[in-house]
Chain A
Amino acid sequence: MSVNQSKYIRQQKIYKAIITCTRFLIFIAILILWEVSTQLQLVNPFIFSSPSRIAAIFMKMCQDGSILHHCMITLGETALSFFIIIAAGIGIAVLLWLWKGLSDIIEPYLIILNSLPKSALAPMLIVWLGNNQKAIIVTAISVAIFGTILNIYTGFLETNKDQIRLIRTLGGGSMSILTKLVLPSSRKIIVSNLKVNIGLCLVGVIIGEFLAARAGLGYLIIYGSQVFKMDLVAMSIVILCVISAILYKIIDLIERRT
């Protein structure tokens, strides 16, 4: 390696280290500021909670196992709705692609449903389906499904026309075009769609839990705010942050592999 090259590499390493340290320091600073200002009663710890109070309630709920229970419920609902959205989204997009008339007919409906603020449907779904997990999962699905169908279908339509011609010259019909060309060439779009959806599913599940749950992180947040246990609310939000970061990272790894 030349002198200049190793100099360049060293500079890059230093830059990265500075970025990482600064991020970490900001995190520590916020924690300290938060903790100190509540200790000194500059802000009311009863309303704003504090890192030490969050840690304490977290430890307590770990010991009785209740936090794991609530996390697993929220995660389970998120995973289930996520897989249903992917399967239904791809399935319906394929149907629309195979049957142009159908897609021309229902496109305006899809666009309207997709532009609707998703949480607006939730109360109605819960009245229809009852105060249960089914309603929560359907709420989560309703948040993401329309966008997923539209996105994937639009991706399908961008399939290269000349490549479609190629399949036809090789004697293939719609099914060959679909399986050999449209689906593989849309893989990137589908995977990047997963990334958006995992976040939306979590949003949908939390909305559903606000309205209909007896367990889960959304339930903890709404319950905590009603009984003024702000430590519980703050802790649930912190856990949600961690969960969504982990889920995002998992999809990110999948995306890199494809």
Chain B
Amino acid sequence: MNPIISLDHVNYSYHTSKGEIPALSDISFQLQPGSFTSIVGPSGCGKTTLLSLISGILKPESGSIDIHSSNHIYIGYMLQRDNLFEWRSVYKNMLLGLEIQKKCDKDHIENVNHLMDAYGLSPFKHVRPSQLSGGMRQRAALIRTLALEPDILLLDEPFSALDYQTRLEVSDDIYKIIQDQNKTAILVTHDISEAISMGDQVIVLTGRPATIRKVVPIKLTVDTRTPLSSRFAPEFKDYFNEEWEELE
């Protein structure tokens, strides 16, 4: 199969008046359509920078990022914080991307309504974001991203602010959507077990400036793979130990 996106010797540094901060060094990898890739790395190593480059809001200093598709591809990007706007209702927040891209047509709105029902957010449609629990906020932010029907989904530690229970629930939700709609996804996290439980492959990064230390394909023997069931697979512990050592 041909990759949907490929990174080729990508480098990136931040420039400030105090000096240069190299963030990424010589990053190359490819993503197959429909694959789920987890990226783990120590904090501050450049994970968010990598996603910003892939999404296109930053441009690589050298190297290239290519998207292989005959038609236009939208890359959805879920930031580390939900950034819901308090002056908008939850529903209006979910429509923000559609408003910006002027896509508030019937099909798109219906899609949002459907997602809202599926995630149990309908009762909270008209309330302010501050009245939602952490898990619900994260779901609202996800719907805001999915409303634009992205082909590739970038997730930047979307669960880090949630308690353990909610975290498992929300990651199950997100995983299911991604599988059902056969989307290509990248999940950034510093939690190794989360990376293994969701990814088809795990890319381990070094400290800043991030380079690729190792790419680990994940093969788990489970009947139906969900983030939760993956954690009970016999191979899970071995992968965990392998990556733990890489990050040490």
Asked if B55 is at the interface of the complex by the 8 Å CB criterion, the answer is yes
Cβ–Cβ contact B87 & A185, under 8 A: yes
Known: A168-B57, A170-B97, A171-B101. Contact between A163 and B83, CB under 8 A?
yes
Name the CB-closest residue of B to A173. B100
Asked if A184 is at the interface of the complex by the 8 Å CB criterion, the answer is yes
Number of residues of chain A lying within 8 A (CB) of chain B: 17
Cβ–Cβ contact A180 & B83, under 8 A: no
Asked if B74 is at the interface of the complex by the 8 Å CB criterion, the answer is yes
Asked if B148 is at the interface of the complex by the 8 Å CB criterion, the answer is yes
Q: How far is the CB of A42 from chain B (nearest CB, A)?
A: 58
Cβ–Cβ contact A171 & B97, under 8 A: yes
Asked if B117 is at the interface of the complex by the 8 Å CB criterion, the answer is no
Q: How far is the CB of A192 from chain B (nearest CB, A)?
A: 16
Asked if A181 is at the interface of the complex by the 8 Å CB criterion, the answer is yes
Known: A163-B83, A184-B87. Contact between A170 and B57, CB under 8 A?
no
A residues near B81, Cβ cutoff 8 Å: 162
Asked if A91 is at the interface of the complex by the 8 Å CB criterion, the answer is no
Cβ–Cβ contact B100 & A167, under 8 A: yes
Q: How far is the CB of A172 from chain B (nearest CB, A)?
A: 4
Q: How far is the CB of A185 from chain B (nearest CB, A)?
A: 7
Contact of A162 among B76, B79, B88 (CB under 8 A): B79
Cβ–Cβ contact A162 & B100, under 8 A: no
Asked if B85 is at the interface of the complex by the 8 Å CB criterion, the answer is yes
Asked if B77 is at the interface of the complex by the 8 Å CB criterion, the answer is yes
How many contacts between A and B, using CB within 8 angstroms?
Answer: 45
Cβ–Cβ contact B101 & A163, under 8 A: no
Cβ–Cβ contact B79 & A181, under 8 A: no
User: How far apart are the CA atoms of A169 and B58 in the complex, in Å?
Assistant: 11
Cβ–Cβ contact A169 & B100, under 8 A: no
User: How far apart are the CA atoms of A167 and B77 in the complex, in Å?
Assistant: 11
B residues near A169, Cβ cutoff 8 Å: 55, 57, 76-77, 79, 145
Asked if A187 is at the interface of the complex by the 8 Å CB criterion, the answer is yes
A residues near B144, Cβ cutoff 8 Å: 170
Known: A167-B100, A170-B97, A171-B101. Contact between A181 and B57, CB under 8 A?
no
Q: How far is the CB of A169 from chain B (nearest CB, A)?
A: 4
Cβ–Cβ contact B74 & A171, under 8 A: yes
Number of residues of chain B lying within 8 A (CB) of chain A: 21
B residues near A185, Cβ cutoff 8 Å: 85, 87
Asked if A84 is at the interface of the complex by the 8 Å CB criterion, the answer is no
Q: How far is the CB of B74 from chain A (nearest CB, A)?
A: 7
Main secondary structure, interface of A, reads: helix
Asked if A176 is at the interface of the complex by the 8 Å CB criterion, the answer is yes
Known: A162-B79, A165-B57, A165-B79. Contact between A170 and B85, CB under 8 A?
no
User: How far apart are the CA atoms of A162 and B81 in the complex, in Å?
Assistant: 8
Known: A162-B79, A163-B85, A185-B87. Contact between A180 and B57, CB under 8 A?
no
Cβ–Cβ contact A170 & B100, under 8 A: yes
User: How far apart are the CA atoms of A180 and B77 in the complex, in Å?
Assistant: 18
Asked if A80 is at the interface of the complex by the 8 Å CB criterion, the answer is no
Q: How far is the CB of A173 from chain B (nearest CB, A)?
A: 9
User: How far apart are the CA atoms of A245 and B77 in the complex, in Å?
Assistant: 50
B residues near A184, Cβ cutoff 8 Å: 85, 87-88
Q: Mark A145-180, 1 if CB is under 8 A from B, else 0.
A: 000000000000000101101111111100010001
User: How far apart are the CA atoms of A168 and B101 in the complex, in Å?
Assistant: 11
Contact of B83 among A166, A171, A172, A176 (CB under 8 A): A166
Q: Mark B37-66, 1 if CB is under 8 A from A, else 0.
A: 000000000000000100101000000000
Known: A162-B79, A171-B74. Contact between A180 and B99, CB under 8 A?
yes
B residues near A176, Cβ cutoff 8 Å: 100
Q: How far is the CB of B175 from chain A (nearest CB, A)?
A: 21
User: How far apart are the CA atoms of A160 and B80 in the complex, in Å?
Assistant: 14
User: How far apart are the CA atoms of A176 and B79 in the complex, in Å?
Assistant: 18
Interface centre among A160, A162, A165, A172 (most CB of B within 10 A): A165
Sort A-B residue pairs by CB-CB distance and give the 9 closest, nearest first: A170-B97, A169-B77, A172-B100, A166-B83, A176-B100, A168-B57, A163-B83, A170-B100, A184-B87
Using CB atoms and an 8 Å cutoff, list the residues of chain B in contact with chain A. 52, 55, 57, 74, 76-77, 79-81, 83, 85, 87-88, 96-97, 99-101, 144-145, 148
> Can you sample 8 A-B contacts with CB below 8 Å?
A162-B79, A166-B79, A169-B145, A170-B96, A170-B101, A180-B99, A184-B88, A185-B87
Using CB atoms and an 8 Å cutoff, list the residues of chain A in contact with chain B. 160, 162-163, 165-172, 176, 180-181, 184-185, 187
